[in-house]
Every structure is written in structure tokens, then in C-alpha cells.
């Protein structure tokens, strides 16, 4: 039996975040291995990494993402059903054989709409969904109450959920998102029609598993996080603590600033966002670099005592922590986030109490006062990553058995880690 065609669905054709980076890397890697791949997206521009690759076709509709659509009425309507995307997807699938084609969705809630996934299954194609976020079950995608900065433990779409004003914007937007999830899950029945789910961490899968169809398999597949091996950083000789990411509350930027203020330790903030003025007021002596490219971030990692990963919400992975580990830098992580899957307390990093600036400041102080501990944790983190790198090739070796299970049981790679 010949290799199946792969159609990758992703809201974006541009390299604008972790989920798109995975979708693009998968498309390129699969095409390089001789699979015919079609990358279907709504929002451009098309990333340079996608252009000119053999076996790789690109469809980009050049639409607005919902949040940037100048017409709010159009955004409301297309967020429920993106008619143009559905029509284009139907046209694409009309020329494909469901017995020899696998459709893999990465993101669809920011432009493509749930009807895209419904179209795939209605036409009889096997659908794989990677759970980069919690949108398959949670209306706001994060199990997080933005108004209170608390983790949410409500049952999605329950009366308690519908009555909670937890959206980042306002309650009206929460109600619209809830209507969209009701459409996706209750009317269209998308979750039950997915053939195979791919989780990016065991932590996030365990949160979603109770809300997914019990009979649908879920495999943990590591994201491609291709890092450069420059040896482990001389952390024992360094004193700066790093935060890397958007300056927003749910990412823990304010929490880190509060911990820096409490501890009096040197800090560097890499990134940008709405909280920048507040963070600079809290930490007037800290360094603020703005957004940096990968090489510049590696330079800062090489000069760091530790990286702090302090999200207030769960996250589904935590790429920053993985990149730090690859550089041999210990990571201080909140004890209720997905990064605890691979940053082990006292082995490759340090855990602190979720949401506590005092606990974070204490962890930072411990590493500041114990250079040998920092060196040992950083070296262990470095060995953890490089013993089994999160490379694009290893990502595909874990992903291909998922495809094989939907295509005659063919073995395209190693056995995936399944969580049923």
C-alpha cells in the first residue's frame, strides 16, 4: 500500500507561534520523507519555510484572523462557520481518496471554524487533531478565569461554566465562544468524529481526557523543538534570572516581577506585551530586551543562572522550558503547569507553588545562593534533552505510527505513547 496523502489544517500559514511552528515543521518533514502534503490555511502570509519544497502544496485563503477582522459582524459569523474555508476545503477533498488520505488539524478556532473539521469527517476522511490548546472542550481554550487569574475546574458548558465571566475580553465574548463550542461539540459532534487525538504533554491530556470520547485513542507526540548544541551554560558563574514570553498576566510575567522585587535578584525580561510599563515600574533595575531571535535568546541563556516559567494557567507544554533545558540551564516552574512533565523538581529544575510570588522568590534565592546546585540541575537538564532530542525527525518518528494506525496498520515509525 502506498503512502497516504496528508492534508494539514492550520489557521495560519505564517510562523507566528508554537502550534504553527509544529504544523509547518510537520509539513516540511513529511514532504521530505516522500509523503504528498497539502498545507491548508486561512491567514497569511505564507512562511518562507513552506515555499518551494517538493511534495508540498500550499493553500492559503488570505483571510483575516477573527481577532483582527475589521468587521465584527463578519468575525462573529465566520467564527461559527467560515463559508469560504469550508467551500475551499470541499473542493480540495473532492479530488482525494478517503482511503488514502489523512487530514490532520492543528488549529481551527482562530479563523477556520469548527465546520472545517465537520466537513472533513462528513466526507469520510480520517481526522487527526493535535491538542495544542483546550478549545476542543473549553470555550475559552484555557481552563482559566481571566478575571480572577485562577485555574478553572468547572465542567465545560455546564450552567456554572456558562454563568462564569472568565473571558479575557468580556462576558458577551464568553457567551459567543460558548455558543461556538456548543455548535462544535453538541450540534456537529466533532469530538466524537475525530479518529485520533495527539497530545503535546501527558499533563494536558490528563486535564482533557475526562471530556474527550472514551473510545478515541490519544497519543503523546513531542513537539519539534530543534535546538543547537552548544554545551551546557556556565550557570554557576551567572547571576541573572530570565523570563521569556509575552508580558501578560496569564503567562506569569507580573508574578515573576513581584518575585524579582521580593528577592532583589537581577532579572532579564525577553519579550514584550501590555504589562511592560507595569513590569518596568516593579523592576526598575531589570533588563528589558524586547523580542529577540533564536540566536540572541541562546546568548542570554548562556549568561543565565536559571529560567523562570511561571504561568498562572496550565499551558499545554512550555517550549521555553525545553529550550532552556537544551542549553543546560535549570528551570524554575510552577507546580501546576504542563512543564512539570519534564522539569523534575530537584533533578532538572525546581518547582514552586503555583501563583505564589513568595514561593518563586524563595526558589530563585535558593539557586542564587547555591551555584553548585544550579550547575548540577543545569547539567542534568542538558543530558535529559540531548539523550533524546526533541528534533523534527524524532517528532515524525512518534507521529507516523498514528498515521499508520489509520492507514492499514502500516508501521511508519516507532510505537507512539498512547493514553486511552
Angle at 321 (CA atoms; ends 258, 312), nearest 5 degrees: 40
CA pair distance 363, 342, nearest whole angstrom? 18
Distance CA 129, CA 78 (A): 21
Compute the distance between CA of residue 42 and CA of residue 159 in angstroms, rounded to an integer.
Answer: 33
Q: CATH 3.40.50.2000 residue ranges in the chain?
A: 5-224+391-418, 235-387
DSSP H helical ranges for 157-287: 159-162, 171-182, 190-193, 202-208, 253-263, 276-282
- Residue 40 φ then ψ, to 5°: -110, 125
Helix (H) or strand (E) run with residue 198 in it: strand 196-199
What pLDDT, on the 0 to 100 scale, is given for residue 410? 61
Q: How far apart are CA 221 and CA 419, in angstroms?
A: 11
Report the C-alpha gap between 243 and 300 in whole angstroms.
Answer: 11
**Residue among 104, 5, 12 at smallest CA distance from 49:** 12
Element (H, E) at 86: helix 83-94
pLDDT, tens digit, for every residue of 344-381?
Answer: 999 999 999 999 999 999 999 999 999 999 999 999 99
Residue 43 corresponds to which cell in the numbers above?
Answer: 491567514
Question: What is the structure's pLDDT at 81?
Answer: 96
User: What's the pLDDT at 408?
Assistant: 77
Q: Determine if the peptide bond prior to 45 is cis (ω within 30°).
A: yes
Instruction: List, for residues 290-342, the tens digit of each pLDDT value.
Output: 999 999 999 999 999 999 999 999 999 999 999 999 999 999 999 999 999 99
Domain 5-224+391-418: which topology? Rossmann fold (3.40.50)
Looking at the predicted structure, is the pLDDT value of residue 407 above 90?
no
Pick the closest to residue 403 from 29, 135, 6 (CA basis): 6
Is 32 in contact with 53 (CB distance < 8 Å)? yes
Given a cut of 60, whether residue 414 has pLDDT beyond it is no
Query: For the segment 1-30, what is each residue's pLDDT rounded down to a tens digit?
Result: 579 999 999 999 998 888 999 999 999 999
Residue with cell 479530488: 95
My answer on whether omega of the bond before 129 falls inside 30° of 0, hence cis, is no
The pair phi, psi for residue 376, each rounded to 5°, is -65, -45
Cβ burial 221-239 (10 Å sphere, 16+ → b, else e) = bbbbbbbeeeebbbbeebb
Between CA 405 and CA 252 the distance in angstroms is 39
Region 194-215 average pLDDT: 97
Q: Which CATH class is domain 235-387?
A: alpha beta
* Whole-number Å distance between alpha carbons of 318 and 338: 7
Give rounded-to-5 percent helix, strand, coil for the chain: 40, 15, 40
Whether pLDDT at 79 is above 50: yes
For residue 394, name the pLDDT band (cuts at 50, 70, 90). Answer: very high
Cα separation, 375 vs 414, in Å, equals: 34
Residue 413 pLDDT class (50, 70, 90 cuts): very low
Nearest to 42 by CA among 84, 72, 73: 84
Give the span between the Cα atoms of 25 and 13, in whole angstroms: 12
Amino acid at each position: 500500500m502506498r503512502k497516504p496523502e496528508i492534508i494539514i489544517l492550520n489557521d495560519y500559514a505564517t510562523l507566528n507561534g508554537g502550534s504553527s511552528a509544529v504544523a509547518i515543521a510537520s509539513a516540511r518533514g513529511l514532504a521530505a520523507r516522500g509523503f504528498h502534503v497539502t498545507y491548508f490555511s486561512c491567514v497569511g502570509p505564507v512562511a518562507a519555510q513552506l515555499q518551494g519544497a517538493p511534495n508540498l502544496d500550499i493553500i492559503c485563503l488570505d483571510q483575516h484572523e477573527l481577532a483582527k477582522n475589521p468587521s465584527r459582524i463578519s468575525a462573529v459569523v465566520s467564527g461559527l462557520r467560515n463559508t469560504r474555508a469550508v467551500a475551499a476545503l470541499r473542493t480540495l477533498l473532492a479530488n482525494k481518496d478517503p482511503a488514502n488520505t489523512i487530514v490532520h488539524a492543528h488549529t481551527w478556532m482562530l479563523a477556520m471554524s469548527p465546520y472545517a473539521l465537520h466537513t472533513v469527517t462528513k466526507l469520510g476522511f480520517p481526522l487527526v487533531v493535535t491538542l495544542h490548546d483546550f478549545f476542543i472542550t473549553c470555550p475559552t481554550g484555557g481552563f482559566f478565569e481571566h478575571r480572577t487569574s485562577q485555574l478553572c475546574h468547572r465542567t465545560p458548558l455546564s450552567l456554572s461554566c456558562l454563568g462564569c465571566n472568565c473571558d479575557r475580553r468580556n462576558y458577551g465574548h464568553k457567551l459567543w465562544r460558548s455558543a461556538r463550542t456548543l455548535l462544535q461539540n453538541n450540534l456537529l459532534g466533532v469530538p466524537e468524529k475525530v479518529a485520533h487525538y495527539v497530545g503535546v504533554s501527558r499533563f494536558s491530556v490528563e486535564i482533557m481526557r475526562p471530556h474527550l470520547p472514551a473510545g478515541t485513542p490519544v497519543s503523546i507526540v513531542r513537539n519539534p523543538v530543534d535546538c543547537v548544541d552548544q554545551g551546557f551554560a556556565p550557570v554557576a558563574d551567572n547571576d541573572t534570572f530570565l523570563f521569556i514570553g509575552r508580558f501578560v498576566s496569564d503567562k506569569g510575567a507580573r508574578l515573576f516581577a513581584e518575585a524579582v522585587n521580593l528577592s532583589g535578584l537581577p532579572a532579564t525580561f525577553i519579550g514584550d506585551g501590555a504589562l511592560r510599563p507595569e513590569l518596568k515600574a516593579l523592576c526598575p533595575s531589570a533588563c528589558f530586551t524586547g523580542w529577540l531571535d533564536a540566536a540572541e535568546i541562546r546568548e542570554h541563556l548562556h549568561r543565565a543562572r536559571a529560567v523562570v516559567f511561571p504561568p498562572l494557567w496550565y499551558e499545554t507544554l512550555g517550549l521555553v522550558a525545553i529550550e532552556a533545558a537544551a542549553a543546560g540551564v535549570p528551570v524554575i516552574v510552577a507546580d501546576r503547569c504542563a512543564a512539570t512533565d519534564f522539569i523534575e523538581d530537584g533533578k532538572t529544575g525546581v518547582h514552586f507553588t503555583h501563583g505564589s510570588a513568595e514561593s518563586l522568590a524563595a526558589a530563585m534565592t535558593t539557586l542564587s545562593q547555591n551555584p553548585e546546585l544550579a550547575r548540577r540541575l543545569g547539567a542534568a537538564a542538558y543530558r535529559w534533552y540531548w539523550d533524546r532530542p526533541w528534533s523534527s525527525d524524532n517528532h515524525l518518528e512518534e507521529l507516523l505510527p498514528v498515521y499508520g494506525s489509520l492507514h492499514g496498520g502500516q508501521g511508519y515509525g516507532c510505537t507512539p505513547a498512547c493514553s486511552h
